[in-house]
Structures are given as structure tokens and as C-alpha cells.
Chain A
């Protein structure tokens, strides 16, 4: 039995584990692959902290609030932004090799920031932060459980007692009991499939397991689309490229937007151009080889391999793609979810730090800041853990039954189709009729689920089984996402409704969605009203 079980080994999970260990807690980190194979490694641009003499904590707060379209919680924003310099200092102290300018940390300007504010390590910021956290976790002996996939939360009398997991190597089901459960499972942008910058696996099993257990999720409709992902592969080209002076141009080579506008606006402008049948490019050729190779080495490599272009010589074809899910498991200021002893942190949580649009450089900040908070909170938990929870048997039964599902309909093909429909109808531009269409498609697929199944019947490392479970989670989360998008009859930040193109005061509130007796319910809640 553990004091804390952390699900997920990205920036949020590892930070939680490090601080939990420092508090002397018995902590286990569960990951579905290996610890550093988490999406944090894909964060490129940087981590925000007001460190420049031309910047101030006040400006960081203002920029974050402005980009949130009145939806961020001011108290949270103030708390996180004021702690940002301390967060970066901590990362520097534990060994992150941040770039320097003179004796100070080098800073780059990202979209929506009124001063250079993002500390970076080339364009490998997330990778180097994640690996430094992992190295420190090895140092203090954090215990890892690799290749285990989260199935369900074990909840009794409204209190979390642990989790059930699929051991991917053997297809057996296990339970891990703990006084507190911290979900750090990342976002769910991969439900947009090939129209997402995310890695395989970002299907949000933390969110769907929480939803199934009765926890509240919030602001799911705010899916951030990144304006500059590669046209063919949706692989991300960092905002750092625009921060350094990269231009966005159409097929005639003309600029048509403000490159340093926030991501929501830029994505819409680019999407509209593409819908008109035009092409859009990111042009960084004028920045010069020397600068590009030392500051944006990863972008150069990515454009070469995945788009077949040489960004030193030619503009890079781009499109916007689903990048970051701003909403998540609803948590209060202390990271409490609506289930006792269950906490959520990082992209899977909605702390109300970002509001309706996230600024580049604020998510790495969020995962580290709240990772520490989660450890402090979860470490205090009082919880009586018994044995013989029913969830284990239920899930064992389910997994065993799955091997005998009829498999008359291919879930893979269905999932791929749904992703495409989501991108075009519940993506950058949305409207009622189309959203309703998506919803009926999701419900049809939910009904078809019992006719789906596995072709691969092996019990050894059955990755089709994992994908099937991810598809199930996708169906569950997509439904909640589309209902949230339908309910918000206005446009705000990342959520744009063609039929309600303006922001409406009455919607200055969070959409909160949850299941009651297996039926989804949604309500709006203003900031500060728990």
C-alpha cells in the first residue's frame, strides 16, 4: 500500500513524485510506457517566468488574464505567475540546462506575451526538463511501475482508494491501493487523430476514468489548436519560430495575420485561408542559417524529415492542429477533485489557470508549479484502505470478456472516421447543426461498441487491446466534449461558434460536466463559487 500513487510520468507526475518523496511519502509512479516517453518531451518553446527587467509579475498576470477571455481564475493566475521565477530557479537548481544570456537565463518572446518571458533550452525545453526530473527521480529512488495502463479508479463511499491497471505485458488486471491518487495523465487532443500535434496515446484515460467514477470535468470545449503544425503530419513547429520573427504567408507569399497574436486567433485565420482553398506557410528563411541551427535545431530537423522541405531555403507548409486540452478534471484551488482523496494535476486537470486560451510557455509552468502543490496536498491524506474492492474483479471480467467480443465492426476504422469528423465539426470553427451531427455519430458508435472487438487474441503485449481501450475512452470523452461545445452558445478564446460569434457575459463561467446514473449532466459555474 502506498501513500500516493501517481498516474503518469510526464512533467506533472514526476514533479509530484519528487516532492512526495521529499516529504518522506511512499510513492509509486505508474506509466503506460517508460517514464520519459511522456508528452512533456514534446514541449519545445519554453517555460514562462518574468525575469527580464522589461517584464514584471504584474505583466505576466495581465497577459495570462487577457488571453483567458475572462475565464481564468484571477487568484490562481496571481499565485502561479508570482511563483514562476521560483519554479524556474528550482528547475535550474536541479540541473535543467537552460540557455543563458550573459550571466542570466536567456528569454524568448512567445505569442501574447508583452515581454520576452520564456526560459528555454534550445527548442528542446520540455525534453530537457522531463529528463532532468527523471534523473532526479532516479537519484531519490522514486519507484516506477512501467507498461501499466490505467483502467479505473477504485472509489468507495465517495473516496478514492486506488486504481485498477492493465499490465500490458500480460493482459492481466492489477490493483494498486493508496491513500491518495494523483492523476497526471495528460491531455486528450489525440481524439482528433491525424489532426493533432499530440503523440499516440493522448486519449485522456485519466479524464475518462474520473468521469466514470463520478468526478466532474470542466471546460472541455476549450481545445487549443496550434497554428503552426506541419501540413502533412500535424507535427508541431514551435511558437519559438514565430517569436524569433517567422512570418506566416499565403501561397502568393503575402502576410495576412499578426504572427504574435494568441494561438486561438491565428489558428482561425489560417484555417479560414485553408478553407478558401489557399495554402499557408511558415517562412523562417530570412532568419539565417546560423541562428536557426543554434536556436531551432529541432524545427529544422522536423521540417526536413516529416515535410520534406528545407526551412533554411523554403517556406514550410502548415495547418492548425489540435494541440492542448485546456479543460480537464475539475479541481478547486487546492487541486481537490469532486472525489475525496483524488487529485489531478497537469494537462488532465482544469485549474482555471488558462481560461479560454492558453499562452505558450504557461503549460510547462503549470505542470511544475501544481506538481509540487499536488504532493503537498496528497501527502496529507487520511484514508482507511481495506482490501477486496470489487473494481478489480469487474475489470478482470471486462478485459477477459473483451477477448471474446464479436469484432464485426472495426473500431480502428471507426475511430479514424470520428477523428476527422471532430476536426471539421468540433474543431476550430463550430456550429449547432454540425455539432449535433457529431453527437449522433458518437452515440451511434457507442451503440456499435458491442459489435467491435479484437483481432489479435494474444495475451502478450497486446497493443491492439490498449488501442481498443483508448478508443472506448475517446468515445466517452468526445461525447462530453461535444455536449460542452453545444452548451456554450457564444465564442470565447479557443471555442468559436459560427452561429454565436460574440462573447456573451452570461457565459463568463465554466462548463462543468459529470455523469449521474450513467447520464451526462452539464452546468455552468462562475469563478470562486465552489
Chain B
């Protein structure tokens, strides 16, 4: 018997199992009101992300242990039990224009594809968004997955509008990240949004965009 807590309610399941299996077991046999999202049960649809012991995981990939506490994702509003609104998080993609702007047919090799291979594995589970502390200070922040997706298109050899991509993520974007690395730690697909944000910052430098906080440091220095 394994005792766990889900959305503040206590449950007992017969053995250690994957969290999604447990949710299904409980819903079928113990509590029809228990509410959660799920679809593919194999880690590719991104619908079942939740927090266990304060850390984001996919319910279909996490194996439960005695005493685990399961909660909904942070940042966005809870609708019921483990179901949160995903709308706001997904809108960050639009705000960042994290989509192809102008793709052209150019010669592409496997090395070019490898460069964006991991970023394009994103399943939009929004775990990184939930783990990001910047939202506590700044609601308008674009957040990790939108920025990783911007990098995925910017670094795509076929994309011609690289500068426009950067322009879209300057405000509320790449300079607001504290580089804490929570996003990288929780990504179930092994994506490194923190690293991608660093890459974006370096691209920004190449196009002459200046980090506003560093800029003020500059003038601060000159006064002395």
C-alpha cells in the first residue's frame, strides 16, 4: 500500500505505479471526481504535466513513492484539482512570434538540423513555465518554452527574419530571465531553455541589441 496526496486529498493505492496509472486507478475505483488531463500516456502530448513534491513532472512518466504530494502546475489558474488553464501559457508563443516568419529553401545538412533537434522536441507541457520564478515578479514575461521556440526558428537555417525574431523577445524576454535553470531541470524532453536564452542573448549582441540593465551599468561606470 502506498499513501499519497493529490490536490490536497489523501489516497491509498495498492502499489508503486506511474502517476497517471494511479490517477486512472483512483478515478475508476475510488473517486470519480478526481480531475486531471491526459492523452497519449507516453510522454509526447504534453497534457498531463503536474507537480510532485513541488517539482514539475509528466504524470505518465513519474513513478510514485510513499508520501508523494501531487499538485497542479503553478503560475496559471487552477480550474479543478490538477487541471489548470493552459491558455495564458500558450499565448506567450503568439506574443513572442515564436513561429516561422520567412522560411526559404536553402541547402540544409544534418548538422543544421541537429542544431535545432532538441528544441523541436518540445511537447508544450508548460512544465518550464510553471517552474519559472520570474512570473512572480513579472507577469508579462514570455517564459522559457516560448523563448526556446524562438531560438528554434531563429537558429533554423531556412529562417530569413532572424532580426525580427530577436526584436520580438527583447521586451519581457531574454533579458528578464534570471538564468536560474529551473526550466532546464524540469523539462521532460531534455530541452535546455536556459541555454537557448543565453544563445538568444548572444545573437542579440550580434545584431546590436544591448542588455538594458548592462547599459545602465555602463553609464554608472562612466560617472566615476
Q: Which A residues are within 8 Å of any B CB, using their own CB?
A: 33-34, 36-39, 41-42, 92-95, 97-103, 106, 121-122, 124, 127-128, 131-132, 135-136, 138-139, 146, 169, 199-201, 233, 235-236, 298, 301-302, 305-306, 412-413, 416, 454-456, 458, 460-464
Q: Which of B94, B100, B105, B109 contacts A136 (CB 8 A)?
A: B100
Q: A302 to B42, Cβ gap below 8 A? A: yes
Q: A128 to B46, Cβ gap below 8 A? A: no
**A318 smallest CB distance to B (angstroms):** 15
CA of A37 to CA of B42 in the docked complex: distance in angstroms?
A: 12
* Stretch in B112-120, B129-137, B203-211 with 4+ CB within 8 Å of A: B112-120
Q: A100 to B110, Cβ gap below 8 A? A: yes
Known contacts A100-B110, A464-B32; 7 additional CB pairs below 8 A are A94-B100, A124-B44, A131-B120, A138-B99, A199-B45, A200-B41, A464-B27
Q: Which residues of A contact B86 (CB under 8 A)?
A: 34, 146
CA of A102 to CA of B28 in the docked complex: distance in angstroms?
A: 52
Q: Please judge, given known A-B contacts A127-B44, A128-B120, A460-B79, whether A95 and B156 are in contact too, CB under 8 Å.
A: yes
Q: Which of A102, A131, A302 contacts B109 (CB 8 A)?
A: A102
CA of A461 to CA of B112 in the docked complex: distance in angstroms?
A: 43
Q: Which residue of A lies closest to B103 (CB)?
A: A95
Q: Which of A37, A103, A106 contacts B107 (CB 8 A)?
A: A103
Q: Please judge, given known A-B contacts A102-B109, A127-B123, A201-B39, whether A95 and B100 are in contact too, CB under 8 Å.
A: yes
Q: Which of B35, B103, B110, B149 contacts A461 (CB 8 A)?
A: B35
Q: A131 to B47, Cβ gap below 8 A? A: no
Residue-by-residue, is B40-60 near A (CB-CB < 8 Å gives 1, otherwise 0)? 111111110000000000000
Q: Which of A37, A99, A200 contacts B110 (CB 8 A)?
A: A99
B90 in the interface (beta carbon within 8 A): yes
Q: A302 to B43, Cβ gap below 8 A? A: yes
- 13 A-B contact pairs sorted by A residue (CB < 8 Å): A37-B40, A37-B46, A39-B39, A42-B40, A95-B153, A95-B159, A100-B112, A127-B44, A127-B123, A132-B100, A200-B38, A412-B28, A413-B28
**B79 smallest CB distance to A (angstroms):** 5
Q: B121 to A124, Cβ gap below 8 A? A: yes
CA of A515 to CA of B134 in the docked complex: distance in angstroms?
A: 57
Q: A97 to B41, Cβ gap below 8 A? A: no
Q: Please judge, given known A-B contacts A42-B44, A97-B120, A121-B120, whether A200 and B39 are in contact too, CB under 8 Å.
A: yes
Interface size for B (C-beta < 8 A) is 52
Q: Which residues of A contact B153 (CB under 8 A)?
A: 95, 135
> Does more than half of chain B's interface fall in helix, strand or loop, or is it mixed?
loop
Q: A34 to B47, Cβ gap below 8 A? A: yes
Q: Which residues of B contact A99 (CB under 8 A)?
A: 110, 113
Q: B42 to A36, Cβ gap below 8 A? A: no
Q: Please judge, given known A-B contacts A36-B123, A135-B98, A302-B42, whether A460 and B105 are in contact too, CB under 8 Å.
A: no
B83 in the interface (beta carbon within 8 A): yes
Q: Which residues of B contact A454 (CB under 8 A)?
A: 32
B93 in the interface (beta carbon within 8 A): yes
Q: A37 to B47, Cβ gap below 8 A? A: yes
Q: Please judge, given known A-B contacts A41-B44, A124-B121, whether A101 and B158 are in contact too, CB under 8 Å.
A: no
Q: Considering residues B40, B105, B149, which has the most beta carbons from chain A within 10 angstroms of its beta carbon?
A: B40
Residue-by-residue, is B14-34 near A (CB-CB < 8 Å gives 1, otherwise 0)? 000010000000011000110
CA of A100 to CA of B45 in the docked complex: distance in angstroms?
A: 25
Instruction: Tell me the residues in window 49-97 of chain B with beta carbons closer than 8 Å to chain A beta carbons.
Output: 61, 79-80, 83, 86-87, 90, 93-94, 97
Q: B37 to A131, Cβ gap below 8 A? A: no
Q: Which residues of A contact B149 (CB under 8 A)?
A: 135
B124 in the interface (beta carbon within 8 A): yes
CA of A169 to CA of B109 in the docked complex: distance in angstroms?
A: 46
CA of A10 to CA of B100 in the docked complex: distance in angstroms?
A: 19
Q: Please judge, given known A-B contacts A101-B110, A135-B99, whether A42 and B46 are in contact too, CB under 8 Å.
A: no
Q: B109 to A100, Cβ gap below 8 A? A: yes
CA of A305 to CA of B63 in the docked complex: distance in angstroms?
A: 9
CA of A286 to CA of B192 in the docked complex: distance in angstroms?
A: 31
Q: B32 to A461, Cβ gap below 8 A? A: no
Q: Considering residues B18, B90, B93, B101, which has the most beta carbons from chain A within 10 angstroms of its beta carbon?
A: B90
B183 in the interface (beta carbon within 8 A): no
Q: Which of B35, B105, B116 contacts A93 (CB 8 A)?
A: B105
Q: Considering residues B18, B38, B42, which has the most beta carbons from chain A within 10 angstroms of its beta carbon?
A: B42
Nearest 3 A-B pairs (CB), nearest first?
Answer: A455-B32, A135-B99, A199-B40
CA of A124 to CA of B117 in the docked complex: distance in angstroms?
A: 10
